[in-house]
Structure 1
Amino acid sequence: MTAPHKGVQAPANAPSPPVGESLENGILTLAMQRPERKNSLSEEMLAGLQASLEEAAANPEVKVVVIRSTGNVFCAGHDLKEMTAARAHDDRGRAYYAEMMGRCSTLMQTVVRLPKPVVAVVEGLATAAGAQLVASCDLAIATDTATFCTPGVNIGLFCSTPMVALSRNVSRKQAMEMLLTGETIDASTAKEFGLINRIVPKDYLEPVVKKYAETIASKSPLTVKIGKEAFYNQAEMSLSDAYDYCANVMVENMLARDAEEGINAFLQKRKPEWTGE
């Protein structure tokens, strides 16, 4: 499923990169592969994901990005061992913490602003910034054994940055329930809250993910890019401003070659041929 980062063949004795990559039929799979560290968002993991997503944004062959993990933990959030080690610095880690929180926030915004849909595939636990990553993705598919939590309050560190993504996915009451109690919720509750889209038995996970990704990859890449950008932009606007903005977006979209082709194909009862223009 995975390949060395950037497609470079690593020596046999070299450690695997933090993020494995595989591109097939327009679907780029990014696999966090540090199960021994619970796929935490360490310095190397943040750098690996950021680089992979930036490359995906610029690669016209990529239509959809799937983020998943190896091992039984999707992502355990920030690497607390790295964070604790920084307390030995003269400033008690202030500069390091600011840098790491900034890098994590940049990653989450990169996911949201990526001109390609991003799908999280969750097996196991997604906690703290790991739950934040799930919430930041456009879609999320989880196994029936997946669990989620924002447990910072339990260790004296409120999940304030995960709160940003969480509160934009679930209702305020549900977000505060997770943030204030720090308790773990199961996949069924996560779906009820709106944090994930689908719950799938492990044996059916791969075909379901493939179907989702292939369905999205079959659409006009230009149309999907326009739609994703508009979705997140209008969500931050007032009702009136959102309608004005989206009306203009639809005008520009109607003038695109892919819209002309898609409408003609529909009227002529044939399959459209997308050019991305």
Structure 2
Amino acid sequence: MANDSVILEKKGAAFWITINRPSKRNAMNADVIAGIADGYRRAHDDKDVRAIVLTGAGEKAFCAGADLANSGSAFAQDFSKPNGDLADLMRLSQNATKPAIARINGVCMAGGMGLLCMTDMAVAADSAIFGLPEVKVGVFPMQVLALLQTIAPRRLVNEWCITGEPFDARTALDAGLLNHVVPAADLDAKVEWLIGRITDKSPTAIRRGKYAMRAIAAMSFDESIAYLESQIAILAMTEDAKEGLKAFGEKRKPVWPGK
């Protein structure tokens, strides 16, 4: 356990990060942000971890955003620091080389949408509700936009941010925010299914592939295709690539060295 607000638990090859404030709809505070960041770092330090799962405790909420109970500190900033804690968490997540899955078990609002967008894949219960209600309290989902704008269509992002109106899981799926929507009773089974589809693949290919996807995000086509030519050449020299080709030829399942 990182702190009382976040539970960190290794389950097989997956590292689970659970926001543990169900009575507050798993709202974020400084401890939550620090605990999630700690979880990402621990997951990457453990060579046996192949996937990260980010979720919220209980059945009602994934994360309802910033904790507004203490309105005086909810949006407080230390202006002596060039980077905010949530922004740094987003940077950490985007530089991660292990895949992360969001398990959306309930309400996902405001900063919770930012946590959702941090991950590579997402599975939601069909009862989950999403939204960016910041305009209702006089602010705007500024940091969330950095990731959201690369995932969802611009017209929908405009509507969500400007009206602050909530939307359901089917809308989130159609907009590209989610990979799968399932009944709440099937949520864990679908998450485990997705973990299984990750852990039987080459960890080296996934690690280098995530690194490459991050690198080309801001490149032109000519820049990215030249960069990726070099990346596939490097990847072909790894032990995982050699094992994968050998296993294919021998018609057996590969045993990944992860190198």
TM over 0.5: yes
Tell me the distance in 1 between the aligned counterparts of 2:186 and 2:25: 24
Q: What's the CA shift for 1:95? A: 2.2
What SS does structure 1 have at the residue aligned with 2:258? coil
Segments of structure 2 that go 5 or more residues without pairing to the other structure are: none
Tell me the distance in 2 between the aligned counterparts of 1:240 and 1:56: 34
What residue in structure 2 maps to residue 140 of structure 1?
A: 122
1:52 to 4, 19, 39: 39
1:172 to 140, 151, 154: 154
- The answer as to whether partners of 2:66 and 2:74 remain within 8 angstroms in 1 is no
Tell me the distance in 1 between the aligned counterparts of 2:174 and 2:249: 38
Asked if residue 224 in structure 1 is aligned to residue 212 in structure 2, the reply is no
2:141 to 136, 159, 163: 159
Q: What's the CA shift for 1:224? A: 0.7
- The answer as to whether partners of 1:150 and 1:162 remain within 8 angstroms in 2 is no
TM-score norm. by structure 2 comes to 0.94
1:75 to 31, 43, 63: 63
Residues matched between the structures, number: 258
- The answer as to whether partners of 1:27 and 1:214 remain within 8 angstroms in 2 is no
- The answer as to whether partners of 2:130 and 2:168 remain within 8 angstroms in 1 is yes
Q: What's the CA shift for 1:235? A: 2.0
Q: What's the CA shift for 1:83? A: 5.1
Structure showing the higher helix proportion among its residues? 1
Divergent runs of 4+, >6 A: none
Tell me the distance in 1 between the aligned counterparts of 2:55 and 2:30: 18
What SS does structure 1 have at the residue aligned with 2:78? helix
Taking the TM superposition and a 5 Å limit, the aligned residue runs for 1:14-29 are: 17-29=4-16
Q: What's the CA shift for 1:239? A: 1.0
What residue in structure 2 maps to residue 13 of structure 1?
A: none
* % same residue: 30
Tell me the distance in 2 between the aligned counterparts of 1:117 and 1:197: 14
Q: What's the CA shift for 1:137? A: 0.5
- The answer as to whether partners of 1:132 and 1:165 remain within 8 angstroms in 2 is yes
TM-score norm. by structure 1 comes to 0.88
Taking the TM superposition and a 5 Å limit, the aligned residue runs for 1:1-277 are: 4-5=1-2, 17-71=4-58, 72-82=60-70, 84-85=72-73, 93-95=76-78, 102-277=84-259
What SS does structure 2 have at the residue aligned with 1:120? strand
Cα pair distance change 1:177/1:266, threshold 3 Å: same
- The answer as to whether partners of 2:67 and 2:74 remain within 8 angstroms in 1 is no
- The answer as to whether partners of 2:122 and 2:178 remain within 8 angstroms in 1 is yes
What SS does structure 2 have at the residue aligned with 1:121? strand
Root-mean-square deviation (CA, aligned residues, Å) is 1.8
What SS does structure 2 have at the residue aligned with 1:22? strand
Q: Which amino acid in structure 2 is aligned with residue 274 of structure 1?
A: W
Report the more deviating stretch, 62-71 or 77-86.
Answer: 77-86
Q: What's the CA shift for 1:25? A: 2.1
Segments of structure 1 that go 5 or more residues without pairing to the other structure are: 6-15, 88-92
Cα pair distance change 1:85/1:67, threshold 3 Å: closer
Tell me the distance in 2 between the aligned counterparts of 1:83 and 1:108: 23
Q: Which amino acid in structure 2 is aligned with residue 263 of structure 1?
A: L
Q: What's the CA shift for 1:82? A: 4.3
- The answer as to whether partners of 2:5 and 2:20 remain within 8 angstroms in 1 is yes
Cα pair distance change 1:258/1:207, threshold 3 Å: same
- The answer as to whether partners of 1:139 and 1:196 remain within 8 angstroms in 2 is yes
